Structure 1
Amino acid sequence: MRKGVVTRMLGSVFYNLKEGSKGVWRNRPMALASVSSVGASLFILGIIIVLVLNINNFTLVMQSKFDKIQMFLEDDLGSEEIYNMKKEIEKMEGVKEAQFESKKDAFEKFKVRWGDDAYLLEGLESSLQNSFIVHLDSLESADGVYAKIKDMGGVEDVKYYKDVIEKMIRISNWIRTLGLTLIVLLSSVSLFVISNTIKIALYARRKEINIMKYVGATNWFIRGPFLVEGVILGAFGSVISLGLISFSYNYVYNKITSDSYWAMVSNMLSLDEIFKSLLIIFLVMGIGIGMLGSLISLRKHLEV
């Protein structure tokens, strides 16, 4: 009994796959238009996705560098005053740690950054200042901490980077909004093309469908091959666009990271780091658009 049910289910699956594939082949011009439409939509979607992923990554990297306030100290502060200041800062709400950086420490950092040209910095150490690098619990606490430390005695200057992060977050949100709008528009175009492809297939097989309905075939039995056809079209479009976006992205990544300066500045994600996300998004979007386009057309045109 159970074996017979499994056999019938497998037979139905193979039937739908075979008929769906035949439908794609019979309707080659419209199938090509559908695949091209889905592929173009997902290619543009892919560009938006890699932009958003890289901007998010860049924002996180910059946030890890700038979620701190640097306060420069007056030269005449003694070691005991510096120690007491550190304790006072670390008691403030929103402060994770206050790290003291001496002139010598700052000079060594400069030397590392300048590499082979560090000899040009000779004599600069005396012009540097002792400072505290105040690490924050979050960017939200930065305003309050800044207001407290800028008026402390012994503080000569304060560097505060919150504006940089806020601008980057605004840009990231703007790109996400634009990306979502384009996704909706391009998905609508793809749905329209695929639903028309299925409509043409339904019209071409209207006599066959009438006979199947007459002998008792259910709507879902008739719908099966057309749903498979839509899925095939969507899947083909997603695979083609994924291949194009992967090749293009890898080319751009290799060009940018071949220059050590731009590699350091861009913090660009490698293809390996984003490919899994792209694969899932492209397949879900491609197959989803194909299936939904089929369902829209079937709902309108299958009443026979």
Structure 2
Amino acid sequence: MKRLFFQFLYELKSAWRGITRNWALSLSALGAVTVSLFLIACFSLIGYHTEQFVSRAESGLRLHAVLNQGLDEAAVQQTGEQIRSLSFVDHADYSDKDAELELMIQEKGDAFSVYRGEQNPLSDAWFVYLENGTDIEEAAREVGRIEGVETVTYGGQSTLELAQLLSRVRIAGYIGSGLLLLLSMYLIYNTIRTTIYSRQDEIITMRQVGASNAFIKIPFEIQGMVLGLLGALIPFLLIAWGYPRLYSGLGGILFANVFQLMQPSQAVFWSGALLFGGGLLVGWLASFMAATKYIKAKR
């Protein structure tokens, strides 16, 4: 155990020496990793909020299937069963003509209240909720083909289009995050590779006295992970400081209730996990690849 402890201290010291010997290149890689991880964290937060908005928008979309006049109760229930049997339907709620009139009064004003009672000219209807809001146009056509359904309407098409646009923005953000990760890996890879070449004589001596490949590679892997962790520190501090103030300033809502922001404690926790986990993984993977490639080439 004592030997392993001193070995770890040696490898840590060796990794730090690699950073300080090539401080200019390390600083350049550190700056790029910091910016990349900060943008990745921002893209991830935007992606999360976009996903939540899309889910809320789609859950609020529904079909309004108005039935033919004069259907008896059995025919109305049969129509409802046929609607519920469709694969894309989550559930359907019945709305009789009196309830339909009350909705019209709420939407268009008290002038329509004169139609209450026997003078009600409206028909019964079903409100149909879908499993996936993007299927709403096809669903409207399918429901409209059911016997007993007179017309099918749906609101929120503009909301659906906005949700689809934001989904594309989210996908673009994920692609951008992937490219930034690759850039970070490339910069750390080059830094480690330069460090290795600057210490070729030391590595040759270590191999001559019987050092294993793993023993030689570990300091470089630690160096890469240190760069990744340091690169994650500043973005984490910026988000931990800035997001709670943004949340407080906006009252937890962006534009409307459908744009509800994540709680600050959750945002800081998940951003920290993403930043430090991503920085550690990217730093280790890039340094592992650089060290492994060098050792294979010098066998």
TM-score (norm 1): 0.75
Stretches of structure 1 lacking an aligned partner (at least 5 in a row): 1-5, 111-119
Could you tell me which of 209, 215, 232 is aligned with 2:209? Answer: 215
AA in 2 matched with 1:264: N
Give CA-to-partner distance per residue, 1:208-245, whole Å, 9 cap, x none: 32322222222221221111010000011123223324
AA in 1 matched with 2:80: I
Count of aligned pairs: 284
Q: Structure 1 pair 206/126, CA: closer, same or farther in 2 (3 Å)?
A: farther
Indicate if the aligned counterparts of 1:242 and 1:279 stay in contact, CA closer than 8 A: yes
Give CA-to-partner distance per residue, 1:154-182, whole Å, 9 cap, x none: 84x53225855763564355234423432
The residue number in structure 2 matching 1:33 is 28
The residue number in structure 1 matching 2:228 is 234
Q: Structure 1 pair 293/126, CA: closer, same or farther in 2 (3 Å)?
A: farther
Q: Over aligned residue pairs, what C-alpha RMSD do you find?
A: 3.6
AA in 1 matched with 2:203: I
Indicate if the aligned counterparts of 1:58 and 1:268 stay in contact, CA closer than 8 A: no
Could you tell me which of 67, 85, 91 is aligned with 2:82? Answer: 91
Cα distance in 2 for partners of 1:126, 1:17 equals 84
Q: Structure 1 pair 137/84, CA: closer, same or farther in 2 (3 Å)?
A: farther
Local SS of the residue matching 1:187 = helix
Deviates more, 1:6-15 or 1:231-240: 6-15
Show the 5 A alignment for 1:29-178.
29-66=24-61, 68-72=62-66, 81=72, 84-92=75-83, 93-94=85-86, 95=89, 96-100=91-95, 102-103=99-100, 105-106=102-103, 122-123=110-111, 125-126=113-114, 131-136=125-130, 138-139=132-133, 140=135, 143-144=138-139, 146-149=141-144, 155=150, 157-161=151-155, 163=157, 167-168=161-162, 170-178=164-172
User: Identical aligned pairs, as a percentage?
Assistant: 21
Deviates more, 1:44-53 or 1:162-171: 162-171
Cα distance in 2 for partners of 1:10, 1:279 equals 29
Give CA-to-partner distance per residue, 1:180-204, whole Å, 9 cap, x none: 4323332232223212322332244
Indicate if the aligned counterparts of 1:103 and 1:125 stay in contact, CA closer than 8 A: no
Stretches of structure 2 lacking an aligned partner (at least 5 in a row): none
The residue number in structure 1 matching 2:274 is 281
